[in-house]
Structure 1
Amino acid sequence: MSPTTTALRAGLRRGLIELRSTFTNFQDLWNYFFPTLVLLIAVFFMRGATVPGTDFSLGARTLPSALGMGLLFGGLLGLAQQLVVDREDGTLLRAKAIPNGMLGYLVGKLVLVSSVAMIGLVIQLTPGVFFLEGLRLGDPGAWLTLAWVVPLGLVATLPLGAMIGSLIENPRNMGLVVLPVMGLIAVSGIFYPINDLPGWLQGVAQVFPLYWLGLGMRSALLPADLAAVEISESWRHLEMVAVLGAWAVLGLALAPVLLRRMARRESGSRVAARREQAMQRVG
Protein backbone atom coordinates (compact mmCIF):
# COMPACT_ATOMS: atom_id res chain seq x y z
CA MET A 1 0.00 0.00 0.00
CA SER A 2 1.44 3.40 -0.99
CA PRO A 3 2.14 6.10 1.65
CA THR A 4 -0.48 8.35 0.05
CA THR A 5 -3.16 5.67 0.24
CA THR A 6 -2.21 5.02 3.87
CA ALA A 7 -2.53 8.75 4.64
CA LEU A 8 -5.91 8.95 2.92
CA ARG A 9 -7.25 5.99 4.86
CA ALA A 10 -5.88 7.41 8.11
CA GLY A 11 -7.50 10.75 7.33
CA LEU A 12 -10.84 9.10 6.66
CA ARG A 13 -10.67 7.24 9.98
CA ARG A 14 -9.63 10.41 11.77
CA GLY A 15 -12.55 12.34 10.31
CA LEU A 16 -15.07 9.67 11.29
CA ILE A 17 -13.64 9.45 14.83
CA GLU A 18 -13.84 13.23 15.25
CA LEU A 19 -17.37 13.23 13.86
CA ARG A 20 -18.44 10.57 16.33
CA SER A 21 -16.89 12.51 19.19
CA THR A 22 -18.95 15.59 18.34
CA PHE A 23 -22.09 13.71 19.38
CA THR A 24 -20.71 13.33 22.90
CA ASN A 25 -19.63 16.97 23.25
CA PHE A 26 -22.26 19.35 24.64
CA GLN A 27 -20.75 22.41 22.97
CA ASP A 28 -20.77 20.71 19.57
CA LEU A 29 -24.35 19.58 20.04
CA TRP A 30 -25.29 23.11 21.06
CA ASN A 31 -23.65 24.41 17.87
CA TYR A 32 -25.75 21.95 15.87
CA PHE A 33 -29.12 22.67 17.40
CA PHE A 34 -29.13 26.28 18.67
CA PRO A 35 -28.72 27.95 15.23
CA THR A 36 -31.30 25.52 13.88
CA LEU A 37 -33.73 26.48 16.63
CA VAL A 38 -33.22 30.19 15.93
CA LEU A 39 -33.74 29.67 12.20
CA LEU A 40 -36.88 27.58 12.63
CA ILE A 41 -38.39 30.12 15.03
CA ALA A 42 -37.66 32.86 12.49
CA VAL A 43 -39.23 31.03 9.54
CA PHE A 44 -42.17 29.96 11.71
CA PHE A 45 -43.06 33.60 12.36
CA MET A 46 -42.36 34.50 8.72
CA ARG A 47 -44.69 31.83 7.37
CA GLY A 48 -47.69 34.19 7.38
CA ALA A 49 -45.90 36.80 5.26
CA THR A 50 -45.73 36.34 1.50
CA VAL A 51 -43.07 36.81 -1.15
CA PRO A 52 -43.79 40.13 -2.94
CA GLY A 53 -46.04 39.62 -5.97
CA THR A 54 -47.05 36.10 -4.94
CA ASP A 55 -49.13 34.31 -2.32
CA PHE A 56 -46.20 32.01 -1.43
CA SER A 57 -44.99 31.93 2.18
CA LEU A 58 -41.90 34.03 2.83
CA GLY A 59 -40.93 31.55 5.54
CA ALA A 60 -40.97 28.66 3.07
CA ARG A 61 -38.88 30.74 0.67
CA THR A 62 -36.38 31.61 3.41
CA LEU A 63 -35.66 28.07 4.61
CA PRO A 64 -33.93 26.85 1.41
CA SER A 65 -31.93 30.09 1.26
CA ALA A 66 -30.80 29.55 4.85
CA LEU A 67 -29.75 26.00 3.97
CA GLY A 68 -27.44 27.46 1.33
CA MET A 69 -26.12 29.89 3.93
CA GLY A 70 -25.47 26.95 6.24
CA LEU A 71 -23.34 25.27 3.57
CA LEU A 72 -21.21 28.40 3.32
CA PHE A 73 -20.87 28.67 7.09
CA GLY A 74 -19.95 25.01 7.37
CA GLY A 75 -17.57 24.83 4.42
CA LEU A 76 -15.84 28.18 4.74
CA LEU A 77 -16.02 29.24 8.38
CA GLY A 78 -16.11 25.72 9.79
CA LEU A 79 -12.88 24.57 8.14
CA ALA A 80 -11.13 27.90 8.71
CA GLN A 81 -11.91 27.77 12.42
CA GLN A 82 -10.70 24.17 12.68
CA LEU A 83 -7.36 25.09 11.11
CA VAL A 84 -6.88 28.18 13.27
CA VAL A 85 -7.59 26.33 16.51
CA ASP A 86 -5.38 23.39 15.57
CA ARG A 87 -2.50 25.71 14.74
CA GLU A 88 -2.73 27.33 18.15
CA ASP A 89 -2.78 24.11 20.18
CA GLY A 90 -0.01 22.38 18.19
CA THR A 91 -2.13 19.77 16.40
CA LEU A 92 -0.86 20.92 13.00
CA LEU A 93 2.75 20.75 14.13
CA ARG A 94 2.28 17.16 15.30
CA ALA A 95 0.64 16.26 11.98
CA LYS A 96 3.56 17.85 10.13
CA ALA A 97 6.03 15.63 12.00
CA ILE A 98 4.43 12.44 10.61
CA PRO A 99 5.15 11.30 7.03
CA ASN A 100 2.17 12.42 4.94
CA GLY A 101 0.62 13.59 8.20
CA MET A 102 -0.63 16.86 6.73
CA LEU A 103 -2.46 14.98 3.99
CA GLY A 104 -4.14 12.70 6.51
CA TYR A 105 -4.97 15.68 8.73
CA LEU A 106 -6.61 17.62 5.88
CA VAL A 107 -8.59 14.61 4.68
CA GLY A 108 -9.86 14.10 8.21
CA LYS A 109 -10.93 17.73 8.50
CA LEU A 110 -12.66 17.65 5.11
CA VAL A 111 -14.59 14.54 6.17
CA LEU A 112 -15.52 16.13 9.49
CA VAL A 113 -16.56 19.54 8.15
CA SER A 114 -18.48 18.13 5.16
CA SER A 115 -20.34 15.68 7.39
CA VAL A 116 -21.21 18.38 9.92
CA ALA A 117 -22.50 20.60 7.11
CA MET A 118 -24.71 17.79 5.82
CA ILE A 119 -25.99 16.98 9.31
CA GLY A 120 -26.86 20.63 9.82
CA LEU A 121 -28.75 20.69 6.52
CA VAL A 122 -30.84 17.67 7.49
CA ILE A 123 -31.50 18.99 11.01
CA GLN A 124 -32.72 22.32 9.62
CA LEU A 125 -34.78 20.91 6.77
CA THR A 126 -36.63 18.12 8.56
CA PRO A 127 -38.64 20.17 11.12
CA GLY A 128 -39.52 22.77 8.50
CA VAL A 129 -41.41 20.14 6.51
CA PHE A 130 -44.02 19.93 9.25
CA PHE A 131 -45.04 23.59 9.39
CA LEU A 132 -44.03 25.05 6.01
CA GLU A 133 -46.05 24.40 2.88
CA GLY A 134 -44.87 24.46 -0.72
CA LEU A 135 -41.48 22.73 -0.44
CA ARG A 136 -40.91 20.20 -3.24
CA LEU A 137 -39.60 17.39 -1.09
CA GLY A 138 -41.78 14.81 -2.84
CA ASP A 139 -40.41 15.71 -6.28
CA PRO A 140 -37.51 13.53 -7.52
CA GLY A 141 -36.26 16.54 -9.49
CA ALA A 142 -35.69 18.39 -6.24
CA TRP A 143 -33.40 15.66 -4.95
CA LEU A 144 -31.53 15.50 -8.26
CA THR A 145 -30.85 19.22 -8.02
CA LEU A 146 -29.72 18.88 -4.41
CA ALA A 147 -27.43 16.04 -5.48
CA TRP A 148 -25.28 18.44 -7.52
CA VAL A 149 -25.85 21.79 -5.79
CA VAL A 150 -24.71 20.58 -2.35
CA PRO A 151 -21.43 18.91 -3.47
CA LEU A 152 -20.63 21.81 -5.78
CA GLY A 153 -21.27 24.25 -2.94
CA LEU A 154 -18.91 22.34 -0.64
CA VAL A 155 -16.20 22.14 -3.31
CA ALA A 156 -16.54 25.90 -3.84
CA THR A 157 -16.33 26.79 -0.15
CA LEU A 158 -14.07 24.23 1.54
CA PRO A 159 -10.89 25.38 -0.28
CA LEU A 160 -11.75 28.97 0.64
CA GLY A 161 -12.01 27.90 4.26
CA ALA A 162 -8.60 26.23 3.99
CA MET A 163 -7.14 29.42 2.52
CA ILE A 164 -8.55 31.58 5.28
CA GLY A 165 -7.48 29.16 7.99
CA SER A 166 -3.95 29.09 6.62
CA LEU A 167 -3.70 32.89 6.77
CA ILE A 168 -5.17 33.53 10.23
CA GLU A 169 -3.13 32.52 13.26
CA ASN A 170 -5.21 33.97 16.10
CA PRO A 171 -8.76 32.61 16.66
CA ARG A 172 -9.79 36.08 17.82
CA ASN A 173 -9.17 37.36 14.30
CA MET A 174 -11.96 35.18 12.89
CA GLY A 175 -14.21 38.20 13.34
CA LEU A 176 -12.41 39.74 10.37
CA VAL A 177 -14.01 37.01 8.26
CA VAL A 178 -17.37 36.74 10.00
CA LEU A 179 -18.22 40.44 9.63
CA PRO A 180 -17.90 40.53 5.81
CA VAL A 181 -19.91 37.29 5.61
CA MET A 182 -22.69 38.95 7.62
CA GLY A 183 -22.64 41.83 5.18
CA LEU A 184 -22.98 39.42 2.27
CA ILE A 185 -25.95 37.75 3.95
CA ALA A 186 -27.73 41.11 3.96
CA VAL A 187 -27.36 41.59 0.20
CA SER A 188 -27.51 37.98 -1.06
CA GLY A 189 -31.26 37.37 -0.90
CA ILE A 190 -31.13 34.89 1.97
CA PHE A 191 -34.04 36.33 3.94
CA TYR A 192 -35.69 38.49 1.26
CA PRO A 193 -35.52 38.83 -2.55
CA ILE A 194 -32.87 41.32 -3.63
CA ASN A 195 -34.59 42.61 -6.77
CA ASP A 196 -35.28 45.97 -5.15
CA LEU A 197 -31.66 46.54 -4.14
CA PRO A 198 -29.50 48.89 -6.23
CA GLY A 199 -28.02 47.19 -9.27
CA TRP A 200 -24.45 47.54 -8.02
CA LEU A 201 -25.33 45.70 -4.78
CA GLN A 202 -26.96 42.93 -6.77
CA GLY A 203 -23.78 42.71 -8.81
CA VAL A 204 -21.62 42.46 -5.69
CA ALA A 205 -23.80 39.69 -4.29
CA GLN A 206 -23.53 37.69 -7.50
CA VAL A 207 -19.73 37.66 -7.39
CA PHE A 208 -19.65 35.53 -4.24
CA PRO A 209 -20.75 31.93 -3.60
CA LEU A 210 -23.37 32.79 -0.96
CA TYR A 211 -25.94 34.19 -3.40
CA TRP A 212 -25.60 31.20 -5.71
CA LEU A 213 -25.82 28.66 -2.90
CA GLY A 214 -29.07 30.26 -1.75
CA LEU A 215 -30.37 30.34 -5.31
CA GLY A 216 -29.40 26.72 -5.90
CA MET A 217 -31.21 25.51 -2.81
CA ARG A 218 -34.27 27.56 -3.74
CA SER A 219 -34.23 26.09 -7.24
CA ALA A 220 -34.25 22.60 -5.74
CA LEU A 221 -36.91 23.04 -3.07
CA LEU A 222 -39.29 25.74 -4.33
CA PRO A 223 -41.95 25.55 -7.07
CA ALA A 224 -40.79 26.49 -10.55
CA ASP A 225 -43.00 29.60 -10.72
CA LEU A 226 -41.06 31.15 -7.79
CA ALA A 227 -38.23 31.76 -10.26
CA ALA A 228 -40.28 34.76 -11.37
CA VAL A 229 -39.15 36.74 -8.30
CA GLU A 230 -35.46 36.03 -8.93
CA ILE A 231 -33.02 38.10 -10.94
CA SER A 232 -33.70 37.50 -14.66
CA GLU A 233 -36.79 35.52 -13.55
CA SER A 234 -34.77 32.32 -13.79
CA TRP A 235 -32.91 29.87 -11.57
CA ARG A 236 -29.87 30.40 -13.85
CA HIS A 237 -28.31 27.00 -13.31
CA LEU A 238 -25.63 27.53 -15.97
CA GLU A 239 -24.46 30.77 -14.37
CA MET A 240 -24.60 29.06 -10.98
CA VAL A 241 -22.31 26.26 -12.13
CA ALA A 242 -19.97 28.79 -13.74
CA VAL A 243 -19.59 31.01 -10.66
CA LEU A 244 -19.36 28.22 -8.09
CA GLY A 245 -17.04 26.31 -10.42
CA ALA A 246 -14.81 29.37 -10.77
CA TRP A 247 -14.56 29.71 -6.98
CA ALA A 248 -13.80 26.00 -6.72
CA VAL A 249 -11.00 26.24 -9.29
CA LEU A 250 -9.56 29.33 -7.60
CA GLY A 251 -9.67 27.70 -4.17
CA LEU A 252 -8.23 24.39 -5.35
CA ALA A 253 -5.38 26.25 -7.07
CA LEU A 254 -4.46 28.52 -4.16
CA ALA A 255 -5.33 26.47 -1.08
CA PRO A 256 -2.53 23.87 -1.51
CA VAL A 257 0.04 26.66 -1.96
CA LEU A 258 -1.08 28.49 1.17
CA LEU A 259 -1.37 25.28 3.19
CA ARG A 260 2.18 24.22 2.25
CA ARG A 261 3.42 27.68 3.21
CA MET A 262 1.61 27.45 6.53
CA ALA A 263 3.03 23.98 7.23
CA ARG A 264 6.60 25.10 6.46
CA ARG A 265 6.30 28.00 8.90
CA GLU A 266 5.03 25.89 11.79
CA SER A 267 7.59 25.29 14.52
CA GLY A 268 7.73 24.53 18.21
CA SER A 269 8.68 28.12 19.02
CA ARG A 270 5.69 29.53 17.13
CA VAL A 271 3.32 27.13 18.89
CA ALA A 272 4.83 28.05 22.25
CA ALA A 273 4.44 31.75 21.50
CA ARG A 274 0.79 31.30 20.57
CA ARG A 275 0.16 29.29 23.73
CA GLU A 276 1.75 32.06 25.79
CA GLN A 277 -0.50 34.63 24.14
CA ALA A 278 -3.52 32.44 24.79
CA MET A 279 -2.59 32.09 28.47
CA GLN A 280 -2.22 35.86 28.73
CA ARG A 281 -5.71 36.31 27.28
CA VAL A 282 -7.15 33.83 29.78
CA GLY A 283 -5.25 35.40 32.64
Structure 2
Amino acid sequence: MNPTTGTARIGWSRGLIELRHSFTNGGELLSHLLWPTLMLTVMYFLRDSAFGSGGLMLGTLALPSILGMNVAMGMVAMSQTLTAEREDGTLLRAKATPDGMPAYLIGKVVTVGGGLLADLAILLIPGLLIIDGLAAGDAGSWLTVAWVLLLGMAATLPIGAILGSVFAGARAQGLIQLPVLGLIAISGIFYPLTSLPEWVQWIGQATPIYWLGLGMRAALLPDSAVAVEIAGSWRQWETAGVLGLWAVLGLALAPIVLRRMARRESGSAVSERREKALRRVG
Protein backbone atom coordinates (compact mmCIF):
# COMPACT_ATOMS: atom_id res chain seq x y z
CA MET A 1 0.00 0.00 0.00
CA ASN A 2 1.21 3.50 -0.80
CA PRO A 3 2.44 5.13 2.47
CA THR A 4 0.46 8.29 1.78
CA THR A 5 -2.70 6.28 1.15
CA GLY A 6 -2.12 4.29 4.32
CA THR A 7 -1.68 7.45 6.38
CA ALA A 8 -4.86 8.94 4.92
CA ARG A 9 -6.81 5.76 5.73
CA ILE A 10 -5.56 5.72 9.31
CA GLY A 11 -6.45 9.38 9.75
CA TRP A 12 -9.87 8.89 8.15
CA SER A 13 -10.64 5.88 10.37
CA ARG A 14 -9.48 7.70 13.47
CA GLY A 15 -11.58 10.74 12.61
CA LEU A 16 -14.71 8.65 12.04
CA ILE A 17 -14.27 6.83 15.35
CA GLU A 18 -13.90 10.12 17.23
CA LEU A 19 -16.86 11.62 15.37
CA ARG A 20 -19.04 8.62 16.21
CA HIS A 21 -17.96 8.88 19.84
CA SER A 22 -18.95 12.56 19.95
CA PHE A 23 -22.54 11.58 19.15
CA THR A 24 -22.69 8.83 21.78
CA ASN A 25 -21.11 10.84 24.61
CA GLY A 26 -23.71 12.81 26.56
CA GLY A 27 -21.65 15.96 27.08
CA GLU A 28 -20.46 16.21 23.49
CA LEU A 29 -23.91 15.43 22.14
CA LEU A 30 -25.30 18.28 24.22
CA SER A 31 -22.70 20.64 22.74
CA HIS A 32 -23.80 19.59 19.22
CA LEU A 33 -27.42 20.39 20.06
CA LEU A 34 -27.05 23.48 22.27
CA TRP A 35 -25.69 26.04 19.78
CA PRO A 36 -28.10 25.19 16.93
CA THR A 37 -30.99 25.30 19.41
CA LEU A 38 -29.96 28.76 20.63
CA MET A 39 -29.63 30.05 17.07
CA LEU A 40 -33.00 28.61 16.07
CA THR A 41 -34.55 30.35 19.07
CA VAL A 42 -33.03 33.69 18.01
CA MET A 43 -34.23 33.27 14.42
CA TYR A 44 -37.70 32.29 15.58
CA PHE A 45 -38.10 35.63 17.38
CA LEU A 46 -36.58 37.52 14.42
CA ARG A 47 -38.75 35.83 11.80
CA ASP A 48 -41.41 38.58 11.78
CA SER A 49 -39.03 41.54 12.20
CA ALA A 50 -38.67 43.41 8.92
CA PHE A 51 -35.41 44.94 7.67
CA GLY A 52 -35.86 48.21 5.81
CA SER A 53 -38.68 48.67 3.36
CA GLY A 54 -37.85 45.82 0.99
CA GLY A 55 -40.04 43.26 2.71
CA LEU A 56 -37.13 41.11 3.92
CA MET A 57 -37.28 39.65 7.40
CA LEU A 58 -34.31 39.62 9.75
CA GLY A 59 -34.80 35.91 10.40
CA THR A 60 -34.58 35.20 6.69
CA LEU A 61 -31.40 37.25 6.39
CA ALA A 62 -29.88 35.71 9.52
CA LEU A 63 -30.26 31.97 8.77
CA PRO A 64 -27.74 31.72 5.89
CA SER A 65 -25.33 34.03 7.72
CA ILE A 66 -25.45 31.88 10.86
CA LEU A 67 -24.68 28.81 8.76
CA GLY A 68 -21.56 30.60 7.50
CA MET A 69 -20.66 31.69 11.02
CA ASN A 70 -20.88 28.10 12.27
CA VAL A 71 -18.35 27.03 9.65
CA ALA A 72 -16.04 29.85 10.72
CA MET A 73 -16.35 28.77 14.35
CA GLY A 74 -14.78 25.49 13.29
CA MET A 75 -11.39 27.17 13.61
CA VAL A 76 -12.10 27.75 17.31
CA ALA A 77 -13.15 24.11 17.75
CA MET A 78 -10.01 22.90 15.96
CA SER A 79 -7.81 25.18 18.06
CA GLN A 80 -9.37 24.05 21.33
CA THR A 81 -9.09 20.37 20.35
CA LEU A 82 -5.40 20.64 19.50
CA THR A 83 -4.66 22.50 22.73
CA ALA A 84 -6.54 19.97 24.89
CA GLU A 85 -4.85 16.98 23.26
CA ARG A 86 -1.48 18.68 23.45
CA GLU A 87 -1.91 19.04 27.21
CA ASP A 88 -3.16 15.49 27.87
CA GLY A 89 -0.38 13.82 25.85
CA THR A 90 -2.46 12.63 22.89
CA LEU A 91 -0.35 14.70 20.50
CA LEU A 92 2.87 13.29 21.96
CA ARG A 93 1.64 9.73 21.40
CA ALA A 94 0.76 10.58 17.80
CA LYS A 95 4.22 12.03 17.30
CA ALA A 96 5.82 8.80 18.56
CA THR A 97 4.17 6.60 15.89
CA PRO A 98 5.27 6.39 12.23
CA ASP A 99 3.44 9.00 10.14
CA GLY A 100 1.49 9.76 13.31
CA MET A 101 1.30 13.54 12.89
CA PRO A 102 -0.15 13.54 9.33
CA ALA A 103 -2.67 10.85 10.34
CA TYR A 104 -3.51 12.81 13.47
CA LEU A 105 -4.14 16.01 11.51
CA ILE A 106 -6.31 14.20 8.95
CA GLY A 107 -8.29 12.65 11.80
CA LYS A 108 -8.87 16.04 13.44
CA VAL A 109 -10.08 17.51 10.14
CA VAL A 110 -12.51 14.61 9.71
CA THR A 111 -13.75 14.90 13.31
CA VAL A 112 -14.16 18.67 13.41
CA GLY A 113 -15.41 18.94 9.82
CA GLY A 114 -17.90 16.11 10.29
CA GLY A 115 -19.15 17.67 13.51
CA LEU A 116 -19.62 20.99 11.72
CA LEU A 117 -21.66 19.39 8.96
CA ALA A 118 -23.85 17.63 11.53
CA ASP A 119 -24.39 20.89 13.45
CA LEU A 120 -25.30 22.67 10.20
CA ALA A 121 -27.87 19.99 9.40
CA ILE A 122 -29.35 20.29 12.90
CA LEU A 123 -29.67 24.03 12.32
CA LEU A 124 -30.69 24.11 8.67
CA ILE A 125 -33.42 21.46 8.51
CA PRO A 126 -35.64 22.97 11.25
CA GLY A 127 -34.67 26.46 10.03
CA LEU A 128 -36.17 25.77 6.61
CA LEU A 129 -39.44 24.96 8.35
CA ILE A 130 -39.41 27.97 10.70
CA ILE A 131 -38.16 30.68 8.32
CA ASP A 132 -40.11 31.80 5.25
CA GLY A 133 -38.74 33.49 2.14
CA LEU A 134 -35.69 31.30 1.50
CA ALA A 135 -34.80 30.38 -2.08
CA ALA A 136 -33.82 26.79 -1.35
CA GLY A 137 -35.87 25.00 -3.97
CA ASP A 138 -33.38 24.49 -6.82
CA ALA A 139 -30.21 22.49 -7.37
CA GLY A 140 -28.14 25.62 -8.02
CA SER A 141 -28.73 26.84 -4.46
CA TRP A 142 -27.52 23.59 -2.94
CA LEU A 143 -24.52 23.45 -5.26
CA THR A 144 -23.51 26.89 -4.01
CA VAL A 145 -24.03 25.75 -0.40
CA ALA A 146 -21.73 22.76 -1.08
CA TRP A 147 -18.80 24.68 -2.58
CA VAL A 148 -19.01 27.49 -0.02
CA LEU A 149 -19.00 24.91 2.80
CA LEU A 150 -16.05 22.96 1.42
CA LEU A 151 -14.00 26.03 0.57
CA GLY A 152 -14.96 27.64 3.87
CA MET A 153 -13.76 24.65 5.89
CA ALA A 154 -10.54 24.57 3.88
CA ALA A 155 -10.10 28.27 4.72
CA THR A 156 -10.86 28.09 8.46
CA LEU A 157 -9.80 24.68 9.82
CA PRO A 158 -6.08 25.20 9.01
CA ILE A 159 -6.27 28.56 10.81
CA GLY A 160 -7.62 26.71 13.84
CA ALA A 161 -4.75 24.22 13.66
CA ILE A 162 -2.27 27.12 13.60
CA LEU A 163 -3.93 28.84 16.56
CA GLY A 164 -3.98 25.59 18.52
CA SER A 165 -0.26 25.13 17.85
CA VAL A 166 0.80 28.66 18.71
CA PHE A 167 -1.45 29.42 21.69
CA ALA A 168 -1.10 26.71 24.33
CA GLY A 169 -3.26 26.43 27.41
CA ALA A 170 -6.93 26.80 28.23
CA ARG A 171 -6.51 30.44 29.23
CA ALA A 172 -4.97 31.34 25.88
CA GLN A 173 -7.80 29.57 24.10
CA GLY A 174 -10.31 31.62 26.06
CA LEU A 175 -8.60 34.78 24.86
CA ILE A 176 -8.73 33.59 21.23
CA GLN A 177 -12.52 33.45 21.37
CA LEU A 178 -12.82 37.16 22.20
CA PRO A 179 -11.37 38.50 18.90
CA VAL A 180 -13.24 35.80 16.94
CA LEU A 181 -16.53 36.90 18.51
CA GLY A 182 -15.61 40.51 17.77
CA LEU A 183 -15.03 39.68 14.10
CA ILE A 184 -18.36 37.84 14.00
CA ALA A 185 -20.07 40.95 15.36
CA ILE A 186 -18.75 43.07 12.45
CA SER A 187 -19.10 40.44 9.72
CA GLY A 188 -22.72 41.06 8.75
CA ILE A 189 -23.98 37.87 10.36
CA PHE A 190 -26.94 39.28 12.29
CA TYR A 191 -27.26 42.59 10.44
CA PRO A 192 -26.23 43.63 6.91
CA LEU A 193 -22.64 44.89 6.74
CA THR A 194 -23.81 47.95 4.79
CA SER A 195 -25.43 49.24 8.00
CA LEU A 196 -22.00 49.57 9.66
CA PRO A 197 -19.38 52.33 9.19
CA GLU A 198 -17.24 52.00 6.08
CA TRP A 199 -14.00 51.37 7.97
CA VAL A 200 -15.70 48.50 9.84
CA GLN A 201 -16.90 47.10 6.50
CA TRP A 202 -13.32 46.88 5.28
CA ILE A 203 -12.23 45.00 8.39
CA GLY A 204 -15.15 42.60 8.04
CA GLN A 205 -14.33 41.90 4.40
CA ALA A 206 -10.75 40.99 5.28
CA THR A 207 -11.98 37.93 7.21
CA PRO A 208 -13.30 34.60 5.88
CA ILE A 209 -16.29 34.95 8.23
CA TYR A 210 -17.92 37.68 6.12
CA TRP A 211 -17.43 35.77 2.88
CA LEU A 212 -18.83 32.56 4.34
CA GLY A 213 -21.97 34.45 5.34
CA LEU A 214 -22.18 36.16 1.94
CA GLY A 215 -21.78 32.85 0.11
CA MET A 216 -24.56 31.26 2.12
CA ARG A 217 -26.83 34.26 1.56
CA ALA A 218 -26.15 34.05 -2.18
CA ALA A 219 -27.22 30.41 -2.09
CA LEU A 220 -30.34 30.63 0.06
CA LEU A 221 -31.81 34.13 -0.25
CA PRO A 222 -34.00 35.45 -3.08
CA ASP A 223 -32.45 37.77 -5.66
CA SER A 224 -34.18 40.79 -4.10
CA ALA A 225 -32.06 40.39 -0.95
CA VAL A 226 -28.89 41.38 -2.83
CA ALA A 227 -29.97 45.02 -2.54
CA VAL A 228 -28.67 45.17 1.05
CA GLU A 229 -25.24 43.80 0.14
CA ILE A 230 -22.12 45.81 -0.65
CA ALA A 231 -22.19 46.95 -4.31
CA GLY A 232 -25.62 45.34 -4.65
CA SER A 233 -23.97 42.07 -5.72
CA TRP A 234 -23.47 38.57 -4.33
CA ARG A 235 -19.86 38.73 -5.54
CA GLN A 236 -19.48 34.98 -5.88
CA TRP A 237 -16.17 35.20 -7.75
CA GLU A 238 -14.78 37.36 -4.97
CA THR A 239 -16.16 34.92 -2.39
CA ALA A 240 -14.35 32.03 -4.04
CA GLY A 241 -11.19 34.09 -4.41
CA VAL A 242 -10.96 35.31 -0.80
CA LEU A 243 -11.86 31.94 0.72
CA GLY A 244 -9.44 30.26 -1.69
CA LEU A 245 -6.65 32.64 -0.65
CA TRP A 246 -7.25 31.94 3.04
CA ALA A 247 -7.30 28.19 2.27
CA VAL A 248 -3.99 28.31 0.39
CA LEU A 249 -2.30 30.34 3.15
CA GLY A 250 -3.66 28.11 5.91
CA LEU A 251 -2.83 24.83 4.17
CA ALA A 252 0.70 26.07 3.43
CA LEU A 253 1.41 27.32 6.96
CA ALA A 254 -0.44 24.77 9.14
CA PRO A 255 1.86 21.76 8.45
CA ILE A 256 4.96 23.90 9.10
CA VAL A 257 3.61 25.25 12.39
CA LEU A 258 2.39 21.82 13.49
CA ARG A 259 5.77 20.20 12.78
CA ARG A 260 7.59 22.86 14.78
CA MET A 261 5.17 22.51 17.65
CA ALA A 262 5.46 18.70 17.59
CA ARG A 263 9.26 18.89 17.76
CA ARG A 264 8.98 20.78 21.05
CA GLU A 265 6.68 18.18 22.60
CA SER A 266 8.18 15.79 25.15
CA GLY A 267 7.11 13.76 28.12
CA SER A 268 8.61 16.30 30.51
CA ALA A 269 6.70 19.14 28.83
CA VAL A 270 3.40 17.26 29.16
CA SER A 271 4.14 16.46 32.83
CA GLU A 272 4.99 20.10 33.54
CA ARG A 273 1.70 21.29 32.02
CA ARG A 274 -0.24 18.71 34.05
CA GLU A 275 1.43 19.87 37.27
CA LYS A 276 0.58 23.49 36.50
CA ALA A 277 -3.05 22.53 35.77
CA LEU A 278 -3.27 20.61 39.06
CA ARG A 279 -1.84 23.56 40.96
CA ARG A 280 -4.45 25.87 39.44
CA VAL A 281 -7.22 23.44 40.42
CA GLY A 282 -5.79 23.03 43.88
Partners of 2:238 and 2:129 in 1: how far apart?
33
In the TM superposition, residue 24 of structure 1 has moved relative to its aligned partner by 1.3
Uncovered stretches (5+) of structure 1, i.e. residues with no partner: none
* Aligned twin of 1:229: 228
Say whether 1:20 aligns with 2:20. Answer: yes
* Aligned twin of 2:52: 52
* Aligned twin of 2:161: 162
Look up the equivalent residue of 1:88 and give its one-letter code.
Answer: E
Say whether 1:68 aligns with 2:68. Answer: yes
Would you say how many aligned residue pairs link Structure 1 and Structure 2? 282
Uncovered stretches (5+) of structure 2, i.e. residues with no partner: none
Aligned partner of residue 195 in structure 1, secondary structure: helix
Partners of 1:159 and 1:35 in 2: how far apart?
22
Aligned partner of residue 56 in structure 2, secondary structure: coil
* Aligned twin of 1:10: 10
* Aligned twin of 1:30: 30
Work out the percentage of aligned pairs sharing the same amino acid. 54
Aligned partner of residue 80 in structure 1, secondary structure: helix
Partners of 2:95 and 2:42 in 1: how far apart?
44
In the TM superposition, residue 173 of structure 1 has moved relative to its aligned partner by 1.1
Partners of 1:214 and 1:67 in 2: how far apart?
7
* Aligned twin of 2:245: 246
Look up the equivalent residue of 2:99 and give its one-letter code.
Answer: N
In the TM superposition, residue 107 of structure 1 has moved relative to its aligned partner by 0.8
Aligned partner of residue 191 in structure 1, secondary structure: coil
* Aligned twin of 2:41: 41
State how 1:251-262 maps to structure 2 within 5 Å. 251-262=250-261
Say whether 1:124 aligns with 2:123. Answer: yes
Look up the equivalent residue of 2:57 and give its one-letter code.
Answer: S
Look up the equivalent residue of 2:39 and give its one-letter code.
Answer: L
Partners of 1:62 and 1:263 in 2: how far apart?
40
Q: Deviations over 1:79-101 (max 9, x none)?
A: 11110000000000000000101
In the TM superposition, residue 217 of structure 1 has moved relative to its aligned partner by 0.5
Partners of 1:11 and 1:238 in 2: how far apart?
33
52-61 or 113-122, larger mean C-alpha shift: 52-61
In the TM superposition, residue 137 of structure 1 has moved relative to its aligned partner by 2.0
Q: Deviations over 1:91-117 (max 9, x none)?
A: 000000001011111111110011001
Aligned partner of residue 8 in structure 2, secondary structure: helix
* Aligned twin of 1:198: 197
Aligned partner of residue 133 in structure 1, secondary structure: coil
Partners of 2:52 and 2:279 in 1: how far apart?
52
In the TM superposition, residue 277 of structure 1 has moved relative to its aligned partner by 1.2
* Aligned twin of 1:101: 100
Aligned partner of residue 138 in structure 1, secondary structure: coil
Look up the equivalent residue of 1:207 and give its one-letter code.
Answer: A
Look up the equivalent residue of 1:70 and give its one-letter code.
Answer: N
Say whether 1:268 aligns with 2:267. Answer: yes
Partners of 2:147 and 2:128 in 1: how far apart?
21
In the TM superposition, residue 196 of structure 1 has moved relative to its aligned partner by 2.4
Partners of 2:243 and 2:4 in 1: how far apart?
29
Partners of 1:44 and 1:54 in 2: how far apart?
20
* Aligned twin of 1:181: 180
Aligned partner of residue 48 in structure 1, secondary structure: coil
TM-score (ref. length: structure 1)? 0.97
